[in-house]
């Protein structure tokens, strides 16, 4: 087996692991368990022996979500008979190390391989990293291709998304009090990098709100800027100090353009205000990217 094929196989295995495609049956078993509890239905051993036969629709749905990055949110039935989303269960039922899905991981791979092939200088950064899966994949790509001159910057509050304070974010509260699943500690993320064998001096963490960390971050130039801040404020707080550091030929990726309206407004406003005319390309229903020319 030649080096090219080994690299391809390593990167494919890394994607499968980050997405939990390798153990998707166990994820299905866990979700089935909580569904039975929430609906006060009986749990039977036979449901777990061959989940592909007993819960084929659930397994099919989970496999589709691994591609798109969509999520399953289970529902409670409240005492008054109404249905309430059990967002807190996402801390338990979401087992993947990234929630961006295969299409967006493959976009990262395309962008990284392109800047390496075209010799576009600069580091990589993601602003808003959750469990760190996308940054782990970036670091894995650099290791797979023997690239030693770039740093992967991982910027996050490690306390979740800030509560909305800007008028553009009014009514869009996904802070830790609403979605605790989005708050992952720095120690948890570092341990996960270590688990993949990818925690080294080429990974730098920027802990804190973007407005405090990014303007003074010691980043000289970027080849890839990946935005995942969800809010108008967070998106602007990343774009304003970092966009000009993206080299010509580098990429800007926006994870939540299609799923977080405040983020979409921020991107559209920033592009308009700064005369950015490069064509936007859709990755999936959630995300877009463009190449700086």
Residues annotated catalytic, as ranges? 106
Maximum C-alpha span of the chain:
63
What gap in Å lies between CA 282 and CA 9, rounded to an integer?
A: 26
What gap in Å lies between CA 67 and CA 70, rounded to an integer?
A: 8
Dihedral pair phi/psi, residue 152, rounded to 5° = -100, 115
DSSP letters, 149-195, are S--EEEEE-SS-BPPP-SGGGTT---BTTT-GGG---HHHHHHHHHH
What gap in Å lies between CA 100 and CA 55, rounded to an integer?
A: 24
Counting every residue written for the chain, the total comes to 293
What gap in Å lies between CA 223 and CA 265, rounded to an integer?
A: 24
């Amino acid at each position: 087996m030649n080096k090219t094929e080994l690299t391809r196989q390593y990167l494919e295995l890394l994607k499968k692991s980050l997405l939990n495609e390798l153990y998707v049956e166990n994820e299905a078993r866990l979700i089935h368990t909580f569904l039975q509890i929430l609906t006060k239905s009986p749990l039977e051993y036979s449901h777990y022996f061959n989940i592909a036969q007993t819960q084929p629709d659930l397994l099919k749905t989970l496999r589709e979500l691994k591609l798109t990055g969509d999520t399953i949110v289970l529902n409670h039935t409240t005492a008054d008979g109404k249905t309430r989303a059990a967002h807190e269960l996402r801390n338990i039922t979401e087992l993947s190390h990234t929630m961006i899905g295969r299409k967006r991981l493959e976009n990262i791979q395309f962008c990284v391989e392109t800047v390496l092939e075209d010799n576009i200088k600069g580091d990589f950064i993601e602003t808003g990293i959750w469990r760190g899966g996308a940054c782990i994949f970036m670091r894995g790509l650099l290791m797979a291709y023997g690239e030693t001159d770039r740093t992967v910057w991982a910027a996050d509050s490690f306390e979740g998304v800030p509560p909305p304070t800007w008028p553009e974010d009014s009514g869009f509260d996904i802070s830790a009090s609403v979605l605790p699943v989005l708050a992952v500690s720095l120690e948890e993320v570092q341990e996960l990098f270590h688990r993949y064998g990818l925690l080294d001096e080429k990974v730098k963490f920027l802990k804190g709100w973007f407005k405090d960390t990014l303007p003074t971050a010691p980043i000289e130039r970027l080849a890839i800027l990946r935005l995942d801040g969800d809010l108008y404020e967070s998106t602007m707080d990343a774009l304003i100090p970092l966009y000009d550091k993206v080299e010509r030929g580098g990429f800007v990726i926006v994870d939540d353009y299609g799923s977080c309206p405040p983020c979409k407004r921020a991107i559209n406003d920033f592009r308009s205000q700064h005369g950015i005319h490069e064509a936007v390309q859709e990755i999936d229903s959630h995300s877009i990217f463009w190449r700086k020319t």
